[in-house]
Structure formats: C-alpha cells, structure tokens
Structure 1
Amino acid sequence: MIVEIVGGADERPEARVVDTDDLSTLRLALGQVTDEEADRALRDAGLGRMEDADTGSLDAAALRAAAEPDADVADWAQRWDRMVETARDRGWVSEDGATLRVHVESAAGA
C-alpha cells in the first residue's frame, strides 16, 4: 500500500491511498512537494503527519478507513492485520497502536 502526496506547481498537493490490495509493504511516496507541503496534505486528509524528511507517521484507523473501500481481495482485513503485526514486530507501530511509522520515498516513478 502506498500513501502518495502528489501535486504540480499550480495544484494544491493532496494525499491519496493507492495499491490498497498490496499489504506486503506500506510506504509514503512524495511527488514534487516539499516536506511542509507533504505534512499539510497528510494532516488535511486526516491521514497523519511528517516526522522528518525520511519518516512519516500515519493514523492507522484513518488509513484503514481510506483503503478498505477500494480493496478487491476477499481476505483484505486479515492481510491488514498481518501487515500491522509485522510492523509492530519491527517497532513501527506506536505503543497505543494508533499510528504506523513509514519510510518516505520519491513518487517520481509512480
């Protein structure tokens, strides 16, 4: 699953959740936006925030609510749970389980 922050010079950057059926990975992909624009887009969408240039913090419940309606696989909920458990095992889930830490990458190829 990918949370993309995209927008051109004349557009206001926006956050969108794509590849919702691929729960083997979760990443935050930034298009041609600044870290501040990415942070604002995440906050405006209710999906999370930027921690720094390399890391984002995503609201787990909001991400699930945004992604699940677009899912096309019957066992999506089980796949989601496995993804969160894997993230927890790697230390990428907050203690209260509310947020998921994700790596930031360029969306130039997206």
Structure 2
Amino acid sequence: MIVEVVTGADERPEARVVDVDDLGRLHLALGAVTDEEAAEALERSGLGRLRDADTAVLDVAALRAAAEPRASAENWSTRWDAMIGGARGKGWLSADGATLQVHVESAAGA
C-alpha cells in the first residue's frame, strides 16, 4: 500500500491511497511536491503528517477508511491486521495503535 502525495487536477497537491491490496509494504511516496506541500496535503486529507524529510506518521483509522472500501482481496482485513501487527513488532506503531510511522520515498523517478 502506498500513500502518495502528487499534484492534483487543480495543480493543488493531494494525498491518496493506492495499491490498497498490497499489504506487504507501506510507505509515503512524494511526487513533484515540496515538503511543505506534502505536509499540507497529508494534514488536509486527514491521513497523517510529515515528521521530517524521511519519515511520516499516518493515522491508522484514516488509512484503513481510505483503503478498505477499494480493496478487492477477500482476506484483506486479515492481511491488514497482520500488517499492523508486524508494524507493532518493529516499533513503528504508536503505543495506543493510532498512528504508524512510515518511510518517505520520492515517486518522481517511479
């Protein structure tokens, strides 16, 4: 699963969740946007916030709400729980389970 921030139709950066059935990976991909634009788009979408140039913190409930309706895998919910459990085991999930730390990658070359 990828949360990406790209320039939208109105040239205003927007955050969206893509590859929702791929729960073996999760990161934030930035298109041709500045860190400030990315931070604003993430916060505006309710998906999370940019911690620094390399790390974002995503809202687990908002991420699931954005992804689950578009999921097509029958076992998506089970795989989601496994992804969140794996993140907890690696120390990427907050103590209360509300937020998830993810790596930031550039999508410009993708």
Give yes or no for TM over 0.5.
Answer: yes
Determine the C-alpha separation between the residues in 2 that align with 1:80 and 1:16: 18
| % identity of equivalent residues | 70
Shift of the alpha carbon at 1:109?
Answer: 3.8
Determine the C-alpha separation between the residues in 1 that align with 2:57 and 2:105: 14
Determine the C-alpha separation between the residues in 2 that align with 1:80 and 1:39: 25
Are positions 1:29 and 2:10 aligned together?
no
Q: Aligned-residue CA RMSD in angstroms? A: 1.1
Matched with 1:86 is: 86
Report matched runs for 1:22-101 at 5 Å: 22-101=22-101
Shift of the alpha carbon at 1:86?
Answer: 0.5
Letter in 2 for 1:25: R
Q: Secondary structure at the match of 1:93?
A: coil
Give the number of equivalent residue pairs: 109
Letter in 1 for 2:57: S
Q: Secondary structure at the match of 1:103?
A: strand
Q: Secondary structure at the match of 2:51?
A: strand
Q: Secondary structure at the match of 1:52?
A: coil
Instruction: Please list every run of 5 or more consecutive structure 2 residues that lacks an aligned counterpart in the other structure.
Output: none
Determine the C-alpha separation between the residues in 1 that align with 2:3 and 2:72: 17
Determine the C-alpha separation between the residues in 2 that align with 1:77 and 1:109: 31
Letter in 2 for 1:81: D
Matched with 1:103 is: 103
Q: Secondary structure at the match of 2:38?
A: helix
Instruction: Please list every run of 5 or more consecutive structure 1 residues that lacks an aligned counterpart in the other structure.
Output: none
Would you identify which runs of 4 or more consecutive aligned residues in structure 1 move more than 4 Å? none
Determine the C-alpha separation between the residues in 2 that align with 1:108 and 1:71: 25
Q: Secondary structure at the match of 1:94?
A: coil
Shift of the alpha carbon at 1:44?
Answer: 0.4
Letter in 1 for 2:14: E
